[in-house]
Amino acid sequence: MTPALADATLDELRLALAPQIAANAAFDGWNAQALDATADGMGIARDIARLAFSGGAAVEMIDAWFASIDAEMAERLPPETLAAMKIRQRTTALVEARLAIAAPNREALRRAVAILAMPQNARRALRLGWRSADAMWRLAGDTATDYNHYTKRALLGSIYAATIAVFLNDESEDWADTRGFLARRIDGIMAFEKAKSGFLARTQNRPSLSRFVGRLRYPVV
């Protein structure tokens, strides 16, 4: 075990182990065998590694891998880099960064998606998708606290999930098909947000029908 991990907390140990578990999961699957191989390769006692992942639970390892991707995405695209981009460029860059981080372990990602698609993991999958979308929007500078907070994350989460499906089967050079698919979907988000903003601006000063009916029923005296 490296000196940096000697005093690591379980959370820190999970993040350190996760990327290498993903590399092993491509061959062994998301299981205790991949966890043990990772622990051996990193010089960490197997019982400690299993303690970090509840004995080798697949979903726990996938969760940690996705969290490590969140962390690396933030490192690759710091605030000063994103600040120089338009919002469309930011969201595109963030999704592409996630795919680039996962690309060396694409088979592990395929296996992870299959595990998360199981009915018993549906709630966990939804939570992980939301967490990824939230991380991307926060890095992109979104500060919305109203319903926009939820609609933006739901839209980006669905686009990210669809893009992963394309990515897993993309054999084009430099993931050109995936990049094209993502660009079209991001354009769709931007068009939706523009249309929504226009609608809200047009209706902001319109008289309220419910208030009008209320005054008919309860006239001001």
pLDDT at 40 exceeding the cut of 50: yes
125 assigned to some structural domain: yes
pLDDT attached to residue 213: 47
Q: 10 Å Cβ neighbour count for 106?
A: 17
Q: In whole angstroms, how far apart are CA 164 and each of 4, 79, 134? A: 33, 25, 17
pLDDT at 217 exceeding the cut of 70: no
pLDDT attached to residue 73: 97
pLDDT attached to residue 3: 63
User: If you search the block for the tokens 């606290």, which residue do you land on?
Assistant: 145
195 assigned to some structural domain: yes
216 assigned to some structural domain: no
220 assigned to some structural domain: no
The end-to-end CA distance of the chain, in Å, is 80
Each residue's pLDDT tens digit, 155-199? 999 999 999 999 999 999 999 999 999 999 998 877 766 666 555
Each residue's pLDDT tens digit, 87-127? 899 999 999 999 999 999 999 999 999 999 999 999 999 99
pLDDT attached to residue 212: 45
Between 1 and 19, whose confidence is greater? Answer: 19
214 assigned to some structural domain: no
90 assigned to some structural domain: yes
- Please say whether the dihedral angle defined by the alpha carbons of residues 15, 19, 24 and 26, taken in this order, is positive or negative: positive
DSSP of 117-174: TSGGGHHHHHHHHHHHHHHHHHHTT----SHHHHHHHHHHHHHHHHHHHHHTT--SGG
Query: And the tokens for 40?
Result: 């051996």
Percent residues over pLDDT 90 in the chain: 71
Percent residues over pLDDT 70 in the chain: 84
pLDDT attached to residue 176: 96
23-27, 77-81, 122-126, 212-216: least confidently modelled range: 212-216
Give the list of residues 6+ apart from residue 38 with CB closer than 8 angstroms, or none. Answer: 17, 20, 21, 23, 24, 44, 49
Burial bucket for residue 43 (CB in 10 Å: 0-12, 13-18, 19+): exposed
209 assigned to some structural domain: no
**What rounded mean pLDDT belongs to the chain?**
87
208 assigned to some structural domain: no
pLDDT attached to residue 215: 53
Q: Could you give the number of structural domains in the chain?
A: 1
Each residue's pLDDT tens digit, 127-158? 999 999 999 999 999 888 888 889 889 999 99
Residue 150 sits in a domain of what CATH number?
A: 1.10.357.10
pLDDT attached to residue 23: 96
pLDDT at 209 exceeding the cut of 70: no
Among candidate residues 139, 150, 142, 60, the one with its CA nearest the CA of residue 98: 139
The helix/strand/coil state of 215 is helix
Each residue's pLDDT tens digit, 76-95? 999 999 999 998 999 999 99
For the whole prediction, is pTM greater than 0.95? Answer: no
pLDDT at 204 exceeding the cut of 70: no
Q: Which domain holds residue 96?
A: 3-203
